[in-house]
Structure 1
């Protein structure tokens, strides 16, 4: 497990080191769905909860860091619950990882369900809580190479 984490960390660190000089040239990548075709090239979600979590492989810069609602505008109507296209969203099953699904190598957001409490953390960070009891669902953006772990969902 330590070797696996170090390998991922090393890959991400190398990618970041190679990307930083390009950012200075104004060549940053868009936040919307890309064509990431290699595991580890974008945001990842590991669902450690006992419930599925909805994830998407698209994001619009106009959303900011989060977006309320059950559906994102960037998801095409014919791509809801679809694993095989960009601009889609799906339910990531309990104990599954987005990195095992080609079109979700770069996962852009996950949804904290309305009426539920979702606990999650980014790799190496403390646990955060999205308490949506009495509120609408909330899509939370995953930035660049972040890895988000869904710890629990209770409704």
Structure 2
């Protein structure tokens, strides 16, 4: 009887965990920086320990994919290039910088792993490593309320 109750409790906890995990991985539509008027109102990237800048974008080009392998994101995203002064743009964060320091980047939609680099990103649920040694760049989409921290970033 005790064994059955324990098994039922473990299965219940596993189902609850799976549900939470599924909700966290559902793609969120990119938010417009014009709708995000204060720091930390959207996705945030913090370069805590990167030995190289981390590229970020305040836009995403479609609602279907989670990553894009190229130097720039397709238009309409990044139609304004590399600037902190506009939406549909990209920028970079040096060590110790956060996207919450830049008005148009209060809500970040993607970060880029540069070619030849290793980047470790803590998502609050663990750390993920992207290894692009011998590979081209990779843009990675993030959720609209995500808090990502770069814990390691080295380019070779």
Q: TM-score range by the shorter chain?
A: 0.7 to 0.9
Match of 1:152 in 2: 152
Structure 2 unaligned regions, length at least 5: 1-27
Report the secondary structure of 2:88's partner residue: coil
Structure 1 segments of 4 or more deviating over 4 A? none
Report the secondary structure of 1:80's partner residue: coil
Matched, 1:143 2:143: yes
TM-score (norm. length: structure 2): 0.74
Match of 2:30 in 1: 31
Report the secondary structure of 1:61's partner residue: coil
Q: Deviations over 1:80-122 (max 9, x none)?
A: 2200100000111111000111000001110011111111111
Highest CA radius of gyration, 1 or 2? 2
TM-score (norm. length: structure 1): 0.74
Q: Distance in 2 between matches of 1:119 and 1:30?
A: 24
Structure 1 unaligned regions, length at least 5: 1-28
Q: Deviations over 1:110-154 (max 9, x none)?
A: 00111111111112x211100111111111111010011111111
Match of 2:11 in 1: none
The alpha carbon displacement at 1:62 in A equals 4.7
Match of 1:103 in 2: 104
Q: Distance in 2 between matches of 1:89 and 1:37?
A: 18
